[in-house]
Each structure stands twice: as structure tokens, then as C-alpha cells.
Structure 1
């Protein structure tokens, strides 16, 4: 396949480390470009004055007036769940907070109740449809967490579903074990026993069966303390599972310090970050993954992206796709929100949603940038006046075509 007359080919780089500071604001490009896809990989690219004249391409796409960029890398989702939770949406409209709903047995516990009574087959089919829709909106690599099981059998069921999605998905998937999403009702006043169950029952079995790539824990007042989180993260590391930590969504309570100390790959959410924490993140190798569609949906305060970027933190963007606080996997909207509400420039947002997202999943050998040998997972936009138009026109679908593994993927209407 040859894509030619591209108005601008974006994200042409070879990044050896996550982008931060001034580098995050740079988006290398080739104007008036072409790109050659061979088999399922990017084979070559350049400006049109160097375009090959071979007439035997399997397919040629004329991208006059259009932009081409790598597909989004969504490094934080909860895509496997049993049912939606629009009843809680109504509760929030009437004034209930996320924390109040959780304390009343809603939220994550609500999803857990529904999931335990849903078959593995039904979970797989519904998640597969969500995944297809995410791909149609430009996502070309994704992470999926468990965390709506909250008991050994149900968590294993979720992870088996994710494993099966890996087997059939056209895009790369990383699986994360999140048994420490919240405390089940029977352990609400007995944290020690549930932490013991995660550490000594769930983690060893999951590692033995190879069901997860990472481990996660929700370090918050409504969930696990920093000390409890550390025990779980340490147990995961002992079994080869590197940590990705939910923290600082509502409170600063030591989660960032713990995650850095334990060598976590990323800290995710970060709606509440003080100056000292921002400085720590700026000096660390850890990825700061921001999820702006969650505070958008919860009508809460947004992540302090500018503070983090100015401190030198490596910022990534992800959707947090889940039924309770971010029921959408639309990364185009995430990029727009990052510009509109987080104060990120379009270049910063695109970098955070592509190459830095790939670093947050240790997938830079496959996705995140335009480089020969990487997967040919690409977005071809509609004709646009500028690259900035992509987040500017947040209510429009500006994707004309999604290319996955060098083949055209049917896109959303």
C-alpha cells in the first residue's frame, strides 16, 4: 500500500525515551509526504519529490489535503465490564459525588456484583465490540485492566477474557491485574485479609498462568492506603508484574512517592498533585498518565498538566474507558479535552496520546511513531486546514480512515 500526497505526515521520529518539557511540544513532520506499507509494517516514507514511481502497489490512497499520524495508544482502560451504570449518572446529576456513591455500595462494587453473574462468553463478546469501536476511532494499541471481579474466581475470569481478546485483536493489548480496585463488601472492615488474599492467592496464580503483564492498585481514601498499596505492588514485582498505580484522583496521600520508590511504570489519574509531588514526578522516569475524560464526566477538577509538564514530568494521555466515570474510549475527545481543559498544546496532546502512551505500555518497538519497521497502524484524517483543527473541532469525527496492520479498518460513522 502507498499513501501519497499527504498534506503532513506527523510524528516522524525515533524516540529513545519519553518526551518531557520542551521536547513534548515538538511534533516532527514531513509536509507533502508519502508512506509505503509492506505486509503489516511501515516500510519507507519521505517527501513527494522522492516518492517511488512503481505502478504495482496493491493499493494507492491519495491523501491530498489530509494528515497521517500514528494511531492513538490508550494506556489505561477498564474495557471489560458486565453492564453500564447510567443510574449512577443520574445520581451525580442530583448531587451525589463519586465518593458518596462508592461508599453507598455503588461504583466499582456495583460493577463487581453485575460481573460475577455474567458469563465469560458474554463478557468477551461485549468487550470485543467495545474494542472494535475504539479501533474505529483511531486507537491502535491498548491496555485493559481487570478489577471488577474482586474475588479470585471473578478476577481470573476477567483476565481470561482479556487474554482471549489478545488472541483475536488486530491491535496489541497489554493486560493489567487490578484486584486492588476497592475492597469487597465483606472485607470493608477487614483490609488485612483481602490484601493477604491478593498477595498470596491471586498474584501467584495469575503469574503462574501468565494472565497479566502488569499489576495495578487504587491508592485512595475510598480504596487502599499507600502502605497497603505498597505490599501489593511489591508482591506483584516479585512475580514479574511491574506496577501501574491509580493515585491522586481525589487526595494526595503518598501514592506517588510509593510508586516511584517501587519502580512503577506509571502513575495514573493525578487530578490532585501538589508542588512537591510534581517535582518528584519531573525527576523520575515514571510516566504521568492523565485521564481528562474522567473529571469531565464526573464534573470534577482537571489534572494540572501544565504544572507537570513545566516540572519535567513525562505526560501521557489515556481514556480511562469504564462504565462508571468515563464511559467512552474516544481518544480524539481525550486529546481535545487535554487542549481545552488541561492547557496542553495540540503538539503536546498528540505526543502524549501516541509516543508517550507507547512508553507507558512498553510498546515503543511496535507503535507510537512513524518509523520503518513499526506496525502500520495509522490514522488518515479528513481534509483539514491545519493539524490544530483535530482537537479544535472536538465534536466532529475528523478521521477518514484507520489503517491497522497495513489494512483499512472500517471506521465509525
Structure 2
């Protein structure tokens, strides 16, 4: 009947609109999925092996839905430059930023990229992450972009984790196309997107649309190519300027619009109508010392689902902790505990188009994260520490 049962646990199921708490609950798995969840007193009779959770809290396995985890080198020097007064945009226009990481990523072998990425991934897994999205975007040429995606896929062979990939070739204009941004956008649309789709390396296509990146028209070319290839789309939107990114994402039916620090209320309302998830990235807000916060009130009013993510990248968010993002979501963006925890579980899964995880519900993947806390709010409250007792991925202890 069941393959395994977890008992003597408190559950935050994420069902409904809050945390969906069940005290003294139980979870049963069969063939990698949740076969039963509810109060222990109602658990059907069974003969399955039992894990006694000793009063731990169980959440759905965490989902980090926006990372740039595979890259070469680092940008600690740019961190120092920003501390001395240089802006992110100034550094980018001077040839640093994304192009600096591009050079290091192009030069690195797949093995070197994998070996550098694994410790970063391990930091996320240690906190309870069971699904991670990984973007390309530091190759900015076909083979280097595919190399990043191959490494991202390969990480799931080395660790117990689900990896979702996004092609972000339209991240910046490479030096080969200096002064010809539109030509590069067309190259991405006409060559790189179809190639990544044919090789089965991309689960979605992302674009950076902002003052230092691509226009709405150029993003549209890439999105049209993604749609032709049968791939969903995502958008880096309205981070540095109000460029209408939120409305653009909604217009193209994007799974998510990410950043949104300067998104206007009309664009946010359009996201609500389109069902586009808002992925907020407080790590970038903190590291860049940003003072303009996403309009969370407008998101609530429009019924937009809010997710949180690390945005792990070498420049604007060198963050290795998703639980820290839950804390910053509360303290910087004024999310409630429930909003923050839903933002790293059910809503983060929806930002990736995944409806089979992020909740403790019958039929969902049996991805679990167990925590030594007295109440779920502790996961947002503490800065640092190691509350995660263990993970279950596809019904198997990891």
C-alpha cells in the first residue's frame, strides 16, 4: 500500500492560501509520490517502513526558482568597486558585469564548471532545496550557452535534486555583436533557441529586458522563437528601470517575471490577469544596496502569486541561502511568514510551471524538507544556523 511513512511530525502542507498546518501529522509515499497526508490519528493501517520524525516540522522540499548557478570565475573585485561608489550599470557599461563572467565561463571546461557549481548547489541542498532552476546566460554564443545547460543537467546526476534549465542567451550583448544588439537578439531567436530546443537542453527561455539589456521588441523575437519551439518563457523585468517588463511578461503569457523592483501597478495588474508569477530577489536588493522595493501591495491587490529566490550569481547576488531570502523577503519587502514560505515552495514551483510539487498533497512528488524548529516562522526568523534535518527526494531520503 505504502513504500514508507513519516510519523510524529508537524506539517506545513502549503495547501489553501496559508501554511496549511497539520499538527501531529503523517505522510505516506508510494512510487515517489505522496499517497496520503493528514493527521496521524487518521492514517490508514499499513505495514510500510516508518520514519519517526521526533516532532520535526516537514515542509514541501524547497524550490529555488531563479539561479545562475553555473558560471566561471567570480566578481569579488566588482563588489569592492561598488563599495567604492561604482554602480552596477557603470560597471556593466565599462565591460565588467555579465561580460566579465562571460569570458571566464567561455574559457572553462565543462568539468571545471561542474566542480565549481557543486559546492554552491550543496549549500542550497543543505537547507532543504529539492528543486533548483539554473539559467545559462554567461556564454552568449551558441556552444558556450549549451555548455552551461549541459553542466546544469549533469548536476542532477551527481546530487539528489531536480534541475530545471532556462536558456538565457539574451542576457547581454556579447563583444562580437558590439553596437549590434538587435542583430544578436535575432541570432538568439533564429539560431540559439532552436538549437537548445533540438538538443533538449532547455525547459524554458528567459530574456533580460531593461535599460542595459534588450528592448521589448527584441525580447518578443526571442519569445516568439521559444513558442515555436514549444518552450515556455520567463523575463528579467523592471529591475533597473520601469521598462514595462511586467506588462511584457503578461502579454507573452510568461511563467514568471523576475526582479520587478520598478514595475508599475498597471503591469502588475496585467500579470495578475495572465497568471504570471512574480519572482522577487531580495539578495540583489541587498547586495546592490537598492532602495526601490517591489510594489508588494499592488501584487497582493492584483492576486499575483509571489515567489522568492536566491538569484545566485557572481555579480549582483552571490547568495548561497534560500532561507536567508525568506528572511529578507519579510524584513525588506514586508512579506508575511506565510507569504515568504509559500514563496520558496508552492509559488516557486508554479514559477517554473511545476504543479506536481511545492505542496504536501496526495499525488504530489514526495519531496520533503525536515526541520528542527518549534514553528515555521523560525525558518524566516533566524539568520544562519542549520535547521534542516534532512531531505526526501522522490520518496527517497537524500
Bucket of the pairwise TM-score, normalised by the shorter protein: over 0.9
User: 1:338 is matched with which residue?
Assistant: 329
| Runs of 4+ residues over 6 Å off in structure 1 | none
Residue matched to 2:223: 233
Provide the secondary structure at the position in 1 that maps to 2:235: strand
2:70 to 52, 71, 80: 80
1:128-157 Cα deviation digits (max 9, x unpaired): 332233112111111111000011121121
CA–CA separation in structure 1 for the residues paired with 2:382 and 2:120: 24
1:289 matched to 2:292: no
Q: Residue 202 in 1 paired to residue 192 in 2?
A: yes
Residue in structure 2 matched with residue 141 of structure 1 by the alignment: 131
Q: Which residue of 2 aligns with 1:18?
A: none
Asked whether 1:356 is paired with 2:358, we answer no
2:235 is aligned with 1:245: yes
CA distance in 2, matches of 1:12, 1:114: 40
Instruction: Report what 1:396 is aligned to.
Output: 385
Partners of 2:244 and 2:267 within 8 A in 1: no
CA distance in 2 between counterparts of 1:164 and 1:330 reads 22
Measure the CA separation in 1 of the matches of 2:244 and 2:43. 54
The Cα shift of 1:393 comes to 1.8
1:5 aligns with 2:8: yes
C-alpha separation between the residues in 1 aligned to 2:179 and 2:157?
Answer: 39
In the alignment, the residues of structure 2 paired with residue 85 and residue 145 of structure 1 have an alpha-carbon distance, to the nearest angstrom, of 18
Deviates more, 1:277-286 or 1:146-155: 277-286
Match of residue 254 from structure 1: 244
Cα RMSD after superposing both structures: 1.9
Instruction: Identify the match of residue 371 of structure 2 among 364, 381, 386.
Output: 381
1:310–1:9 Cα change, 3 Å: same
Contact 1:292 1:334 (C-alpha < 8 Å) held by counterparts: yes
Q: Does 1:33 align with 2:25?
A: yes
1:347-381 Cα shifts (integer Å, max 9, x gaps):
1111121111111112212x100012322221211
Bigger drift between 120-129 and 287-296 goes to 120-129
- 1:62 aligned to 2:53? yes
Partners of 2:325 and 2:393 in 1: CA distance:
21
Query: Are residues 1:158 and 2:148 paired?
Result: yes
Q: Please give the alpha-carbon distance, in whole angstroms, between the structure 2 residues aligned to 1:37 and 1:246.
A: 37
Take 2:373 and 2:214, find their aligned partners in 1: how far apart are those partners?
48
- Normalised by the size of structure 1, how large is the TM-score? 0.90
**Whole-angstrom distance in 2 between the partners of 1:44 and 1:4:** 12
Does residue 306 (structure 1) correspond to residue 293 (structure 2)? The answer is no
Say how many residue pairs are matched: 394
Deviations 1:203-251 (A, max 9, x none): 2211221111111110011111111111111122111122100010011
Query: Which stretches in structure 1 are left out of the alignment for 5+ residues?
Result: 16-22
Would you say the 8 A contact 2:128–2:370 is kept in 1?
Answer: no
- Structure 2 length as normaliser, TM-score? 0.93
Which has the higher mean CA deviation after the structures are superposed, 42-51 or 335-344? 42-51
Q: Report which stretch shifted further, 163-172 or 212-221.
A: 163-172
- Which 5+ residue runs of structure 2 have no aligned equivalent? none
Q: Following the alignment from structure 2 to structure 1, what is the Cα–Cα distance between the partners of residues 169 and 386? A: 36
CA drift of 1:167 comes to 4.5
Of 267, 280, 284 in structure 2, the residue corresponding to residue 277 of structure 1 is 267
Deviation at 1:9, TM superposition (A): 0.6
Is the Cα–Cα contact under 8 Å of residues 306 and 342 in structure 1 kept in the other structure? no
CA–CA distance in structure 1, aligned partners of residues 394 and 225 of structure 2: 36
Q: Distance in 2 between matches of 1:44 and 1:211?
A: 34
What SS does the corresponding residue of 2:372 show, helix, strand or coil? strand
Please list the CA deviations of residues 47-69 of structure 1 after superposition, one character each: whole Å capped at 9, or x if unmatched. 23234675x653422332x3111
> Secondary structure of the residue that 2:90 maps to in structure 1?
helix
